[in-house]
Structures are given as structure tokens and as C-alpha cells.
Amino acid sequence: MALVTAARLNDYMNNPTWTEAQTLEATKICAQVESRLSGRLNAPLTPIPCTETVAVLHTGLVATTYPVFSVSSLNGTAIAEGDPLPTGWFIQNHRLRASSSAVPSSLTLGSLMPSIGVFNRVDGIGSASVEYLAGWGPVDALVDEILLKAKAVMTNRHDDTIVIRDLEADAPAPEREDWTEDEINNTLGIYRNLVIFR
């Protein structure tokens, strides 16, 4: 399910009256806007299941490909939703981390290297098999930006109001529908997934 629904967009736009077709269009627009932003940030926004065997770096960072929303299995041990992670493991700023004592000695980085095709690039202390929900989830800043952009798209496509300027009736100028470089680099830059380890 998308982070922003048509009902939430309608509420954000002060509850305009939409036809059933417009409501369906709003649902599609919300999904498209989120998908485009997800592509620009190189990370899922609505969490999706992901399974990886990844390196644990000396800093304790578990080098998952994507931000971690929640963990469902760690080194073969299932973790029920809402249960705490095993001792020494924690999620901080949407990244899985481990203390050095939490990484099993039987899991070595050397055994991981050939399977991921990385040689002499990573200073690690071991590896971990992780099943997790990859993505940012309903972070307020991301939801707000999706709402703002989806509103612009809905307004461009479905707003028939006329703006009167100097006694002349003009259609309002279309709002920008795609993400600008400034929005991605400045406003949303902290959510960009810059994967330096693959």
C-alpha cells in the first residue's frame, strides 16, 4: 500500500468533491508520484520484503542495500513483528547495526566475499543473513512531499477553476509535476540511498 492514499490526498486538498473516476485517478497519481520519488532516491518508500547476506563493517554498520524499516529474521532466527532484536543488534536511522560481540564468529567476511563479488574493498568483521522490510516507511517529510507533488498533479489534471487576474479569466499556470534537482538534492537529499557497498 502506498504511503499516501487518495483519501489522505483529498483531505490534504481540503476535501474537494471527486467523482469515482477522479478518486481512482488520485490513487494512481499517489502511486506514480511515490514511485518516481522512490526511483530518484534509489530506495523503496513503502517497505518491501528483502533478503540479503551482507557484511558487518568494523563500525558496526550492517551493509544492507536499502534502509531498514524492520527486521523479520537475523542469521536464521525469526523475529516477530514488534519484538526487540537480539542483544547487540539495533536499528538506528533506518540502518541495522551490531556490536562486535553480536556478530557470530562462524560468519566470516571471507566466506561472504566470493558470493557478492567484492574483493579488498571492505574492512569488515563478519557477515549476517538478514530478512527485512526495506524502505523508509511513513517518514513525515517524505509523506509531506508526496502530498504536495500529488496535489500539483491532481490540480493540473482535474482543477477546472478559473483565476481572475486584472479582469481577465486565465487558467492557472500548471504546477511542476516532476521532482526538481533542487528538491532531490536539498530538501530530500538526506533520504537518498547512496549505496557505496554492493
Q: How does DSSP assign 106-145, residue by residue?
A: TS-HHHHHHHHT--S---EEEEEEEEEEES--S-HHHHHH
> Does residue 120 carry a pLDDT above 50?
no
- This prediction has a pTM of 0.78
3-state helix, strand, coil in the chain (%, to 5): 35, 25, 40
Q: Is the pLDDT of residue 14 over 60?
A: yes
Rounded Cα distance, 153 and 16, in Å: 15
Identify the pLDDT of residue 170.
Answer: 58
Residue 133's pLDDT is 96
Helices and strands, number each (H, E), in the chain:
5, 8
Beta bridge partners of 68: 134
CA distances from 119 to 19, 27, 57, 84, 112 (A): 57, 45, 14, 34, 10
pLDDT digits (tens, 9 = 90+) for 83-103: 999 999 999 999 999 886 666
**Amino acid identity, position 64:** T
Residue 171 has a pLDDT of: 57
Looking at residue 175, the DSSP 8-state letter turns out to be P
Q: What confidence score (pLDDT) does residue 107 get? A: 46
pLDDT at res. 177: 72
Q: What is the chain's mean pLDDT, rounded?
A: 82
- Tell me if 31 sits within 8 A of 24, measured CB to CB: no
> What pLDDT is stored for residue 164 in this prediction?
46
Question: What's the pLDDT score for residue 84?
Answer: 93
Q: pLDDT tier at 6 (50, 70, 90 boundaries)?
A: very high
Q: Is the pLDDT of residue 122 over 80?
A: no
CA dihedral 55, 57, 60, 65 (to 10 degrees): -50
What does DSSP assign to residue 102? G
- What would the pLDDT profile of 153-183 be if each residue is shown by its tens digit? 998 887 655 444 444 555 556 666 788 888 8
Residue closest to 179 by CA, chosen among 39, 67, 25, 47 = 39
